[in-house]
Amino acid sequence: MGYLYLSAGHKSSGKTTVSLGLCAALRLRQGLGVQPFKKGPDYIDPLWLAAAAGRPCHNLDFFIQTAEEIRGEFGHRMHGADIGLIEGNKGLFDGVALDGSNSNAALAALLDAPVLLVIDARGMTRGVAPLLLGYQQFTPRVRIAGVILNRVGGARHENKLRQAVEHYTDIPVLGAVPESPGLEIVERHLGLMPSNEHAEASAIIERIAAVVADSVDLDAVTAAAGSAPPVSDTGGRPPPEPRDRVCIGVARDAAFGFYYEADLESLEAAGARLEFFDMLVDTRLPAVDGLFLGGGFPEARMEAIERNAAMRDQVRDFIECGGAAYAECGGLMYLCRSLTWNGKVCKMAGVIPADAVMYERPQGRGYVRLRETPRHPWPDGITMNQDDIPAHEFHYSRLENVDRPLTFAYEMVRGQGIDGHHDGIVHRNLLASYAHLRDVAGNQWTRRFVAHVRACRQQRRSSQRAKDER
């Protein structure tokens, strides 16, 4: 077992493409069990990495998790894998903190992971050497085990780059990936188009894997990964609770696919059975006790959502009749009266008395901190969370034409939320917010939501019995 941290000199160096190619090539060409990870809050890259590796990708995040949680999660997920690949975000030393405490380098150091550095070599020859020397010396704790030269312009360009690296540094060149439009993945406002809505995702991954396999020394990559220290599994998550389970319907389709795999596991561990359904195709909800409508790109499928009036009615009736529901970002937009994008307006479910309007620039972006109000509907034993909740948001929409006062579950300590001051609309037994939560030690939201679903189910059953007795 071994592992590597894939980082880059700067953002947009082609790191994700190389990561996808390595995951798929090591799995398909080397026959290895590849466990992918992604630094920070991200849904799109993990969807692609999971598709390439053939197993779920997991996020490691300094803002949400403690150092011990990160190490524990990493060790647990590495169990049964032959090699782990951690894809960083931005550049190796980039981060919000001046001291680099939340950078890729800090995460690599925490996990004692050898770093494979991806360099965008366009317009560069001899200058690659001082760049690499500077990266080596800036944080000696971080060990750069190799470099992959990306977007190389041809054999002559590759030769000049290799000569410079080999003459001036002791960093081995493990590959040189040619510049090719065929390796590009379509992008939109949040980054790459998610693999769950890309019809050619498998073909794209196979094409990238073929190029990377021909351009990178895979044996050298596995050898570099093997230089990492052993990883111990510290136990992971508790087994599912044996008590009476509730059924939670999870919207998962081409429009809604932003879920943390670990959170879905935590819902099951808390006593839920998950029933996945398609908001675009299915005309009836499955027989569920609660709903989880995650994020995604409803604007890209807004016409299909409008056409499926039956599902919109089903969701609205479920919530208005007291069903427990939780919606994040795209799910929140779905529950509004309408969605406007590129001059087109489409009907949504009409639960929330507002219209979701898309803009060209982000309306909320980055990490947030939430403070619960007494109107938060989920139980936490008897009391609500007393500490601020770390989460993240990334949305190009905002709510407009609100025609009645809203009740909010959160005050914004940091971030934009609904109106710059609040987030988490509460309506009956619904909580809908722009913020994305993660289930961690400091915010066990899945346990609380399952308890909420169970309580609402009991309340609805009691009400029905009372009606039947009359």
Q: Report the phi/psi class of residue 458: left, alpha or beta, with left for phi > 0 and alpha for psi in -120 to 50.
A: alpha
Residues 6+ apart with CB under 8 A from 133: 168, 169
Q: What does the block give as tokens for 438? A: 């993660």
pLDDT at 183: 72
Residue 147: pLDDT over 50: yes
pLDDT over 60 (residue 382): no
Q: What is the CA radius of gyration of the chain?
A: 24
Location of structure tokens 């690296």 = 165
3-state helix, strand, coil in the chain (%, to 5): 35, 30, 40
Q: Where are the alpha helices (DSSP H) in 277-334?
A: 302-307, 309-320, 330-334
Predicted confidence at residue 461, as pLDDT, reads 84
Instruction: Using DSSP, state whether 324 is helix, strand or coil.
Output: strand
Q: How far apart are CA 345 and CA 347, in angstroms?
A: 7
DSSP string, 254-286: SSEEE--HHHHHHHHHTTEEEEEE-TTT-SS--
CB 87 within 8 A of CB 45: yes
Give the Cα separation of 120 and 157 in Å (integer). Answer: 13
Top-confidence range, 238-242, 381-385, 415-419, 439-443: 415-419
Please state the length of the chain: 470
The confidence score (pLDDT) of residue 383 equals 43
CA 74 to chain centre: 16
What domains are there in the chain, each with its CATH number?
2-226 (3.40.50.300), 246-462 (3.40.50.880)
Q: What is the pLDDT of residue 460?
A: 83
- Residue 166 pLDDT > 90, yes or no? yes
Residue 90: left (phi > 0), alpha (psi -120 to 50), or beta? left
Tokens standing for 321? 């009749």
Least confident window among 3-7, 196-200, 252-256, 348-352 = 196-200
Indicate the pTM of the whole model.
0.93
> What value does the mean pLDDT take over residues 295-320?
97
Angle between helices 201-215 and 15-28 (to 10 degrees): 90
Tell me the pLDDT band of 242, cut-offs 50, 70 and 90: low
Give the integer Cα–Cα distance in Å for 25 and 75: 23
The mean pLDDT of 314-341, rounded to a whole number, is 98
Taking only the tens place, the pLDDT of each residue in 103-124 is: 999 999 999 999 999 999 999 9
List the Cα angle 260/263/265 in 5-degree steps.
115
H or E element in which residue 78 lies: helix 67-78
Three-class DSSP category at 363:
coil
Query: How much is the pLDDT for 453?
Result: 97
Tell me the catalytic residues: 329
Q: For 178-227, what is each residue's pLDDT tens digit?
A: 988 767 766 555 555 666 655 578 888 999 999 999 999 999 999 999 99
Closest CA to 14 of 176, 194, 196: 176
- The residue ranking higher by pLDDT, 355 or 232, is 355
How confident is the model at residue 193, as a pLDDT? 60
